[in-house]
Structure 1
């Protein structure tokens, strides 16, 4: 008996590396990226990189991730991302203002919870409608919430200005106002939220979302809790967008202003998931990198080619034209976005026939 047990143990130990290798191979690039982000970027980055590129990239990746859970995984179309971001920003502002004893992570989390609850209310019509009518409903919510934050002074502590200064970021006595500190706060938050989202989409909840997206009527027939699944998706997406909105106001802009979360912000999040890939967590980050870096690249190219002949308005119009053309190309040629394109390229490069 002992001989059989030792043989089985030896076989298990011998087989374990092969069984674990696919997981290790998938984890290594992520670990390398996190090491570069947490160690490399603070060591070599300057204030411009943190303020103009890395911080907005991470925040918009979070906003894209929130919309991706809702639209890419659960199939619930939405143009309310900007409204959910604004809700998270104003909720966090009021929590920090009226409950100063709350630690910063708790304020961010509660702001996300409030945004998620608002998203659930906005998502209630999804139990009866879908498609274009659901888009129209979330669009109406976008305008309504934006108007509410502008019209009711309580949200802005009765400030006479539409743009109010965000409270100073402090955690455990440490001032987080420097660019590198705000970057690390944003990076840590994005990492935690992304890991939770990745676990969520692989859970039973994620499978429910996928069933609803693929065929909600058939899912209901086989006993899938469609109503609960839709509202859970709205809460999860709203929560992440709310956290992203709070970071946008506190870590990026330094001000809380409803105009920063207008319809353009909702479209920007949609561009991110269309270009990056719907139903892909990695696609949210790939699309955000594309959307954040492309305007910077276009401004550099236009400046080098035309000098001062191209003003800010013309450059913005050029960006809109480029984004529109890219959206059309991706919808026709690559509906699954850059994430699927890069995955196929990686498989081809690693295939035995290439060696």
Structure 2
């Protein structure tokens, strides 16, 4: 019996390639075709859930770059998502002539600048101290959004501008699906390549042992600030897409619980993995909706106490799933995928 050996390469260019084998190219082709036909095979509500999960993916990738790759704990991620959302709505209200493909990057850039300003005073903080500092920033941002009525309209929130591209108005779930899919692919591809370059290796070195990284020549100040900036850019783009898709933003959405939800995404998906960010965001974004539908049907079928009971049961089940997952698979969904892939490669042997 012949087992598949490691892929043979002759140049560094081939070694750095993302699509190194014909089988990998075939799988990517199948995935691309599946993504294209998917919105034509599901209902409107399922597509709405998938679109939100796609927006979550972008924010989760950003947080994973900061926390999973660089080791800087942040509980203020929702603040940068809020900055992206409100930048979009404010620009749409006061500069309505700007197209969405200008506003989305601008929202990310504004979030990046604020992220760098937040990262600078946090350079000497670690662990719980850094977590508390970022959480405090998130609380301050939400307070400002509530109180600055002249700019943010306070608790009333703001309406997002419409999305138009080449005369085509993007106003349906299917149209937004393809827009979100393209942006997820571009930012995911950029993050994957970034983590394979010098900057990615510097992030991992800081995460594993910052003192050792400093000794071998890694500029801790530079790369920590870069991690905050890149993470904030992804969060800003995610917030901008969220504003466009939901058509309205409100400060009540951007709470500390949203930041914790994003932390759950990267923990469940797998820390230090771009694919883990995608899997975790899909899990956290889709599973609660499925549970809500299931327990809603259960409550109607057995004449239970209605929405309150089903909502509580959904939250309990969701929490139990997360706890069990963290106990029995700390590596996340990415670790499970790695084991499955390895078992296929080595089959029928177990090593």
Tell me if structure 1 keeps the 8 A contact 2:154–2:251. no
Q: 1:36 to 1:139 in 2, by over 3 A?
A: same
RMSD: 2.2
Tell me if structure 1 keeps the 8 A contact 2:146–2:155. no
In 2: Cα distance, 1:258 partner to 1:230 partner: 28
Tell me if structure 2 keeps the 8 A contact 1:212–1:226. yes
Kindly indicate whether residue 61 of structure 2 is the aligned counterpart of residue 65 of structure 1: yes
Deviation string 1:60-116 (CA, Å, 9 cap, x unpaired) is: 111111111110011110011111100000112222232333221111001011111
Q: 1:21 to 1:216 in 2, by over 3 A?
A: closer
Q: 1:237 to 1:24 in 2, by over 3 A?
A: farther
In 2: Cα distance, 1:56 partner to 1:349 partner: 32
Aligned twin of 1:144? 140
Q: 1:316 to 1:138 in 2, by over 3 A?
A: farther
Deviation at 1:354, TM superposition (A): 5.0
Aligned twin of 2:31? 33
Q: Which segment is superposed worse, 55-64 or 163-172? A: 163-172
Tell me if structure 2 keeps the 8 A contact 1:303–1:310. no
Deviation at 1:343, TM superposition (A): 1.4
Counterpart of 1:346 (choices 338, 341, 347) is 341
Kindly indicate whether residue 273 of structure 2 is the aligned counterpart of residue 280 of structure 1: yes
Q: Which segment is superposed worse, 301-310 or 68-77? A: 301-310
Aligned twin of 1:328? 323
Counterpart of 1:173 (choices 159, 167, 170) is 167
Q: 1:211 to 1:21 in 2, by over 3 A?
A: closer
Deviation at 1:330, TM superposition (A): 3.5
In 1: Cα distance, 2:342 partner to 2:172 partner: 41
In 1: Cα distance, 2:19 partner to 2:118 partner: 44
Deviation string 1:212-260 (CA, Å, 9 cap, x unpaired) is: 0000111011110111111111111111011111111211x21021212
* Structure 2 unaligned spans of 5+: 1-9
In 1: Cα distance, 2:75 partner to 2:18 partner: 41
Aligned twin of 2:110? 114
Counterpart of 2:130 (choices 120, 129, 134) is 134
Counterpart of 2:225 (choices 221, 231, 234) is 231
Runs of 4+ with deviation above 6 angstroms: none
Deviation at 1:298, TM superposition (A): 1.6
In 1: Cα distance, 2:90 partner to 2:271 partner: 33
Q: Which segment is superposed worse, 137-146 or 167-176? A: 167-176
TM-score by length of 1: 0.87
Larger radius of gyration: 1
SS in 1 for 2:218: coil
Aligned twin of 1:247? 241
TM-score by length of 2: 0.88
Tell me if structure 1 keeps the 8 A contact 2:89–2:161. yes
In 1: Cα distance, 2:311 partner to 2:297 partner: 16
In 2: Cα distance, 1:231 partner to 1:265 partner: 23
